[in-house]
Structure 1
Amino acid sequence: MPLSEEELRLLEQMERALLQEDPKFASTLRGTSFRRAARRRAVLAGVVFVAGIALLMTGVITQLPVVGIIGFVIMLAAATVGLAAIRSKPVVQPSAGHPSHGLTVFEGGRRGRTRTRRPHGSFMDRMEQRWQRRRDGNAGW
């Protein structure tokens, strides 16, 4: 359920008070250090991924399957960590005139996923309607 206008106004007042009272803590909440840490993790994951490729190729060249398997596992782990760092949700920067100073509301705000409305009826009814539209649009062919 989205926040009311009164709740949003109170939240913005609390954010401004927090910024004035403890700017260091507010900058931590703003997310600049989080983005920097995510970028650092992604770069480190890339380096480890390349090292995993080198280990995999070493295992293939020396005909030691254990070394190749270890290299593959390292590559897989590095790719997982790197993709998680890349996909981490960035904090929205404040727009001009917006009093939140870069702080964001995580839950209950107005910006959220909206539900898509599904047409009423069963699956077969919807399929039959699609079929009828196709037939009508192609003049029977």
Structure 2
Amino acid sequence: MPLSDHEQRMLEQMERALYAEDPKFASSLEGNELRTYTRKRVYQAIAGFVVGIGLLMGGMVAQLIWLSVVGFLIMLGCAVVAVTGWRRTPPQGDTSGGARGGRGGGQGGARQRRSMMNRIEERWQRRREERDD
């Protein structure tokens, strides 16, 4: 469910206030933790996929169909987790954490934040103009 315009404005104001008050804390909230967590989850899914292959093959060798089915389901679930997690992982050079400039971004991160805020403000102005017409 998308946020209403008022809720989006309030959220933007809170974000600006957080950055103005304590930019170091704000950047630490969105730094590399997302990339590290997502990458770790993808690696776990890959390991689970290998375990699923082992169960599938073991079930085939032991002629236990239920074990093969369990192995296949584990493989399928781990493949879904790995693919969706891999898509969500920000690129290595991008420290945005999916939203804004992150830790160590320095001037580049501030520039990214400003450009993002400019885009948001432009959209907001267009919506207000469309509503007024």
Matched, 1:100 2:110: yes
TM normalised by structure 2 equals 0.57
- TM-score (norm. length: structure 1): 0.55
Judged with a 3 Å threshold, the aligned counterparts in structure 2 of structure 1 residues 19 and 78 are, in CA distance, closer, same or farther, namely farther
| Matching residue of 2:125 | none
Residue 25 of structure 1: aligned partner: 26
- Contact 1:39–1:85, Cα closer than 8 Å, also in 2: yes
Which letter does structure 2 place at the counterpart of 1:59?
G
Paired residue total: 98
Runs of 5+ consecutive residues of structure 1 not aligned to the other structure? 1-9, 111-141
Which of the two has higher C-alpha Rg?
Answer: 1
Give the gaps of 5 or more residues in structure 2: 1-11, 96-100, 122-133
Which structure shows the bigger proportion of residues in helix conformation?
2
Once the two structures are superposed, residues 57-84 of structure 1 have per-residue CA deviations (whole angstroms, 9 ceiling, x without a partner) of: 0000000100000000000000000111
C-alpha RMSD of matched pairs (Å): 3.6
Alignment of 1:1-141 (within 5 A): 14=16, 18=19, 21=22, 23-30=24-31, 32-88=32-88, 90=90, 92-93=94-95, 97-98=107-108, 100=110, 105=116, 109=120
Instruction: Indicate the percent of aligned positions where both proteins have the same amino acid.
Output: 25
